[in-house]
Structure 1
Amino acid sequence: MTSQQCDGRCHVTCEPVEVQNCLKYPVLRFLIGRTHNEPTAAPAITSRLCPAVAAELHRTPLWASTSSRLMCDAMTVKKEELPARTHLDDLTDKAVVPEDILQAWEENSGTGNQAAITLKKWTHLVIKTRGRFKDQPPEMLADPRLKDMMSTLSQQVSLVWNSTLVSALQALWIMNLPPMDPVQTSVQTEMLWRIRRLSYKQLGHLIDWGAGHKGAQVVGLVNAALKQLELRWTEIADVRTISTLISKGERMSPTLLDRLEDKALEFAESFSSEDIRKVCVSLAGQSRRSVPLLRALSYHLLQKPSSDFSTLLMLDMAFAYGKLNFHHTQVFQRMAAELLPRVPELSPMEVVRLSKSFGFLKWLHLPLFEAFAENYTSNSQKYNIYQLSNIIMTFARLGFQPSKGDEFYTKVHSSLEQSLTRLEPFLLTDVAWSLCVLQQAKPQYLIPLLQQQHISALSDSSPNRRNNYRLKLLHVAATLQLEHPGSFSTAAAQTALDALPHDPVSPLSTISPLQSNVREILGSLVDGRSEALRVAVDTLLGWTLDGEMIVDGDNKPVNLLSFKAPHLSSGGGKEELPEGFRRLAFVTLEFPNFCSKSKDLLGRFTLMKRHLLLSGFITVEVPYYEWLQLKSDYQKVSYLKDKIGKAVAEDMAK
């Protein structure tokens, strides 16, 4: 609008654009009219406006004008300009020791925002040049220059920028100030007021840095940040924040953790090797077995170059996979290929960690485990008894025998004879049982385990653990009886073991579908004659047989109730087994009984086969991968007859 378009009746000039714009809105027109002592009636106001303005008033509804004004205001908000750099800022950037920061502040005191920046830089330099804050003398925090800096921060805390305030709070936490320190309390209170205005990255930093503190105010601040993230989780769009937050999962709600895992799956392609390591270790620590996320991270880990496969990365990834029982053969093979050249330089702790993790996964890579055995042989003096114990237990779990066994076991026995008695009862039992599996148990290792004193020490444990160790002691006693006859009174050992409290387990509670089906078909094999078959046989050796049968020279089942059964607590019948008759033990072998991706039995089941063989049984194995291919009962009966014939033929050939 120009002055020529005005009819001359306006009491305000029509030239300034601001006034013209104001006249467009009823409320401002009313105020302008009152300022010039005009009547407040709407017709009077309208009559004093320029014709174009009056026409616009009649055309535009009130709600449209108001919303237009609000949108205009939002769009005309200008971003605050950065303050000009000062000499203090330059000195702060150039500082190399904490004293430089304090001197610069003393000579060039700044604003509260600058106080926050310099405080953060001062803590960084203290840690860099002097080490941890808790190792510093208390007088350091009493420096008047530092006090003045913190006082300025506290007094002008409302003027500090959000990002700088977050950094300042981190610095205060690093300094280990008392929970009720006035400066720290002031900054934390201000942060709590601003919590809704922080970006998701700043919220992530607060959670990361504050998660380890126990003060009530800090806990409240971290919880408020977590609540904001739970409401605004869709904003998270960078890998570092995702990995940081997942690592603090113990403080988060399950819902937020699920959403963070979804975010991690979305950004998995952008994860660095370090991010993958950090996330997988965090999931393992929280026992969160997120299979889709683990698969995605494993796939992207395989794409990384060899330079990214550091020893630390492989140690932690092996631990995470083992803890979560997550199998990824391609990753295991890649790790084995990267590890093999490095094994001679690995420390005993690293060898133990890697072998133990792969042992949990039941993954036996022969060249890698040969290298582990050679590492021990070459550096046995560096291994303590606990590290050696873990090596032995892992080898026994996988049933692994080193190719240079004589040299390896010579050094093992040399260390055990000096240190074995120092182990606590449970670990001592595990190590001795593992030596039984590896066929390296000596009577002097095993006899102390069957003494009343040792057995009583195992009583103070949970029922499941007590039952497990009772079975191991039965295996130890069986090893002494069968492999070292005459070295110990098995009757005395059995008496001591009977005194060990144990809770009987119902056979129906532990039987698998495969075992149930095999036992059913065995009943069909003997035409339902109960006197020709025993099922679910608990032996004195500590092993449970799915079925027991005696066959004659023509492989026909006979009545077994009348024959002696030294493997049973009842002793069986009174007759000796006739010449040409054979005692069969049927054993089902499930998927978990084998090493991963192979048909090699784990050490526990090789020990069982050896004990049954020495006890006079012919073992008839029924592996899952053969049984599940049989469709009809007729095929299964024929399969069992064929297995019996082959087992008897092999025994005759020996």
Structure 2
Amino acid sequence: MALIALRRSFPPPSSFRGSGALAAAARNHQPANPGPAVPLDSRHLWLCSLLQRGPSRVRFHHALCKKFHSENGKDLQPAGERVLSPVRNWDALKRDLKKENEKAFCRRLNSCTSSEELLGVVNTLETLPDTLAAAALQRICEVERRPSDQRLPKEILEHSAFQALCFRFERAPSDLSNAALVTGLRALILLHVDPQSRLIINLVAECHNRLRRGGLESHNLCILGESLIRLQGAACMMLELILCQLRGKKLETFTPEDTVAIYRILQACPEKADQHQTFLNAINNFAPSIVSHLSPKSISQILTALVVLDQTQAMPLVIKLGKSVVRYIPYFTNEELRKVLEAFIYFGHYDRFFMRALEQHIASLCLTLDPAVTSTVMEYCSKKLILSKPILNAVAENFVCQSEKFSPTQIAELIEPFGKLNYLPPNATALFTKLENVLSTRFSSFPPKTLLRLLHSCSLIECHPVNFMARLFSPIFLQQLQGGQLYLDRLSLARLTQLFMTSVLECPFYKGPKLLPRYQVKSFLTPCCSLETPMDFPLYKSVMMGLIDLLGSRLYFASKVLTPYCYTIDVEIKLDEEGFALPFTADEEVHKRVALCIDGPKRFCSDSKHLLGKEAIKQRHLQLLGYQVVQVPCHDVEMLKSRLEVVEYLQRKIFAQNSAIKW
């Protein structure tokens, strides 16, 4: 259906011609005199969402599509038909006709599934306003979705309708509306038109002129800012002027899409975050009010920008976004979900409703999980110490079925949480058999430190990597582990030492090379990189008072005792052969040593009574070294209401094997 141009004494609306008139105009380079056009919403350019959706006041009948003519240049009526309305109603009729035609064109654009089909639609039209021309270019972008380094096919670039569209924007950019100007520029940039072409240069120059005059609205500023970043990078000189003008706008005028675009613009230049922090603070305070209107993609983009811009003070916004994420988890793409999880890891955000929804989502995918998402989900559980059995079980099944899809780093990120969280899945045998096969065939492809972390985490849950210990303790591997540094980092040395202790205490059948003394540490408890969790002081204080009452003096127990085996015992009590406590300074007549493990909340998985892997291996090794290990967990002590109850509890714990001893 061709668009109708109603001719009156005033200039015609902005338009350009299709296959006939458009091509002729492109050949002759004759400038047109386009008038103002209706701005187009960039959120749904092909849907023309700025057009009113209500019914027109005049129904668009076929009879109105006939040729119009005017005898005196003012009175307008269809040939051979009676006048439909007075002259004062022609403006309304013209607007209705224009809206109907634009809606019809938008519907045709939206129905196109290829650039050729789309250009064919454009080629059939006699007139096209500049805003709809920009919409056509934008729709080509949506249909093509080509990689960032791939240009349009030659047949599209040389298509007469496409060249006419480009010429329409090149010949008179000053006549374009603001919406058409910035939308057309964005579309042409996304279509990888040569940045040095006269078309792009003219459009950028016109945008610069309007920007200096301050005539661009908030939405157009956002579109222009993102387009210039894509075209010229974050160092673009106009970007600062755009941000300056955006700062001067009222926050209430920003749509949700504008707010997201501002975050993306600022994300492109994180080095200027401090310079724009006041503006960022205002946006961070405003953004929670529009969270309910954001799409999953927009939520993911805002969270990513907050991470890049290091907005740790924007926790109210992060929490609000986190609550909104819960209902969108099934609708995120793999990349979007990964970005959300990375942001939650960065900000330390945890929500039980989010975890419940994530568990359902991961369990439903199970065997089709994306490796990148899988490793990020496991990293989130590991960082937050979340023992989520549905997630861990699904991930274990996924790895057994498609281990070849995982990179060495992703394999380590997938396996480490099992050791850290001290959890063996139901298919543990199949999981670690598959892991052993992967390591046997791809051992050299694993970075040395990644491999050490992986095998150490296996030992935490008694899945000892005996077949690989000889390689770990070999001088060649230790040299690779050290790299170009003068010394190995302390955490790597601690892991090597604990693996060596595991080979001695839990794998007596291992007869391979030993770890050289110079690679062994003296203590696993260090301030910066520790294989033990420091003692919780408030909990220790409660237990200490109970021990004084129980044993009669502070002399009968020692605190923070470093053993010859690298472990630090929270409280050590020495007993003689009859089961009585000896002074902690005694070295003779010591028949038994009691290692009291005062386990605070940080030694357990989050919201759980499940001990972490590094604490489990410590207690296991102390028992093998001859200590009587007595665990005093925080959740037990918190239930005791008086000092007397604490004393009775400690007596039952410490002297349970000798009922004759009474306090």
TM over 0.5: yes
Residue 135 of structure 1: aligned partner: 150
Alignment partner of 1:618 is 2:628: yes
Aligned-residue offset at 1:117: 5.7
2:278 counterpart letter in structure 1: T
Q: Indicate which of 434, 446, 449 corresponds to 1:426.
A: 449
- Are the structure 2 counterparts of residues 453 and 332 from structure 1 closer, same or farther at C-alpha, using a change threshold of 3 Å? same
Give 1:337 deviation, angstroms: 2.5
Report what 1:329 is aligned to.
352
Q: Deviation string for 1:146-183 (max 9, x for gaps)?
A: 77865664553322211111112213433545665554
Task: State the shift of 1:616 in Å.
Answer: 1.3
1:190 is the counterpart of 2:206: yes
1:598 aligns with 2:608: yes
Cα contact 1:585–1:617 (8 A) shared by 2? yes
Q: Which has the higher contact order (CA 8 A, sep 6+)?
A: 2
Is 2:559 the counterpart of 1:543?
Answer: no
- 1:211 match: 229
Partner Cα separation in structure 2 for residue 505 and residue 106 of structure 1 = 69
For 2:372 and 2:407, locate their aligned partners in 1 and report how far apart those are by CA, in whole Å: 10
Q: 1:262-289 deviations in whole A, cap 9, x for unaligned?
A: 2221123333444434433443454545
Q: Does 1:220 align with 2:237?
A: yes
Q: Does 1:254 align with 2:277?
A: yes
Matched with 2:16 is none
**Alignment partner, residue 582 of structure 2:** 558
Instruction: Decide whether the 8 Å contact of 1:450 with 1:496 is kept in 2.
Output: no
User: Does residue 458 of structure 2 align to residue 435 of structure 1?
Assistant: yes
1:365 to 388, 399, 417: 388
Asked if the contact 1:549–1:584 (Cα under 8 Å) also holds between the matched residues in 2, the reply is: yes
Structure 1 residues 360-369 or 424-433, which shifts more? 360-369
2:470, 2:513 within 8 Å by CA — same for their partners in 1?
no
Letter in 2 for 1:610: R
Distance change >3 Å, CA 438–CA 209, structure 1 → 2: farther
Q: Which of residues 257, 260, 268 is equivalent to 1:240?
A: 257
* 1:583 and 2:582 matched: no
Per mean C-alpha deviation after superposition, the further-off stretch among 422-431 and 361-370 is: 361-370
Counterparts of residues 33-72 of structure 1 (less than 5 Å): none
Choose from 391, 415, 423 the match for 1:392: 415
What displacement does 1:291 show?
Answer: 3.2
Instruction: Compute the displacement of 1:600 (Å).
Output: 0.6
- Which residue type is aligned with residue 537 of structure 1? V
SS of structure 2 residue aligned to 1:194 = helix
Q: Please, what TM-score do these two structures have when normalized by structure 1?
A: 0.70
CA distance in 2, matches of 1:247, 1:382: 32
Report the residue type matching 1:372 in the other structure.
V
2:136 partner amino acid: K
Partner of 1:27 in structure 2?
A: none
The letter of the residue matching 2:616 is: T
- CA-CA distance at 1:312 after TM superposition: 6.4
1:200 partnered with 2:200: no
1:503, distance to aligned residue in structure 2 (A) = 9.0
Q: Which has the higher helix share?
A: 1
TM-score relative to the length of structure 2: 0.69
Alignment: residue pair count: 550
Q: Residues 204 and 245 of structure 1 are in contact (CA less than 8 Å); yes or no, is this contact kept in structure 2?
A: yes
Shift of 1:245: 2.8
| Superposed CA offset, 1:483-535 (max 9, x none) | 123635897532333699x998799x9775447737965994666666x5443
Matches of 2:199 and 2:440, distance apart in 1: 61
For the Cα contact (< 8 Å) 1:522–1:637, is it kept in 2? yes
Contact 1:397–1:603 (Cα < 8 Å) also in 2 = yes
2:136 aligned with 1:121 = yes
**SS at 2:463 equivalent:** coil
Residues 275, 377 of structure 1: CA spacing in aligned structure 2 closer, same or farther, 3 A cutoff?
same
Change beyond 3 A, Cα 1:99–1:135: same
In structure 2, relative to structure 1, the CA distance for the partners of 1:164 and 1:119 (3 Å cut) is closer
Q: Kindly provide the amino acid, as one letter, of the partner of residue 362 in structure 2.
A: L
Q: Report the AA paired with residue 163 of structure 1.
A: A
Q: RMSD between aligned alpha carbons?
A: 4.7
Aligned partners of 1:400 and 1:150: how far apart in 2?
61
* Whole-Å separation in 1 of the counterparts to 2:595 and 2:210: 73
Q: For residues 239 and 367 of structure 1, what CA distance do their matches in structure 2 show?
A: 35
1:321·1:361 contact (CA, 8 Å) conserved in 2? Answer: no
Structure 2 partner of 1:295: 319
Q: Please identify, of 513-522 and 593-602, the stretch whose mean Cα deviation from structure 2 is larger.
A: 513-522
- Structure-2 change in CA distance of 1:452 and 1:587 (3 Å): farther
For residues 287-307 of structure 1, the C-alpha deviation after alignment (integer angstroms, 9 at most, x for no partner) is 545432233334344456x97
1:293-348 residue CA offsets vs partner (Å, 9 max, x unmatched)? 233334344456x9747766655544433343211112211222243233133344
In the alignment, residue 165 of structure 1 is paired with which amino acid?
A: L
Aligned partners of 2:422 and 2:612 also within 8 Å: yes
Aligned partners of 1:481 and 1:488 also within 8 Å: no
CA change 1:644–1:117 in 2 (3 A) is same
Instruction: Find the structure with the greater CA-based Rg.
Output: 1
Query: Which of 601, 604, 608 does residue 618 from structure 2 map onto?
Result: 608
Structure 1 partner of 2:13 = none
Q: Distance in 1 between matches of 2:546 and 2:232?
A: 63
Q: Aligned pair in 2 of structure 1 residues 390, 522: CA closer, same or farther (>3 Å)?
A: same
Partner of 1:567: none
1:489-528 paired onto structure 2 within 5 Å: 492-497=515-520, 513-514=537-538, 517=541, 521=545, 524=548
Change (3 A) 1:354 1:150: same
Say if 1:224 and 1:312 are closer, same or farther in 2 by CA, change over 3 A: same
Q: Say whether the 8 Å CA contact 1:399–1:601 is kept in structure 2.
A: yes
Is this contact kept in 2: 1:583–1:618, CA < 8 A? yes
Judged with a 3 Å threshold, the aligned counterparts in structure 2 of structure 1 residues 85 and 623 are, in CA distance, closer, same or farther, namely: same
- Could you list the runs of 5+ residues in structure 1 that have no partner in the other structure? 1-77, 564-574
CA gap 1:353/1:588 in 2 versus in 1, 3 angstroms: same
For 2:386, what is the secondary structure of its paired residue?
coil
Percent of pairs identical after alignment?
18
Structure 1 distance, partners of 2:116, 2:528, is: 70
Letter in 1 for 2:205: T
- Aligned residue for 1:197, secondary structure, equals coil
Letter of the 1:257 partner, please give it. L
Provide the C-alpha distance between the structure 2 equivalents of 1:370 and 1:423, rounded to a whole number of angstroms. Answer: 24
SS at match of 1:487: coil
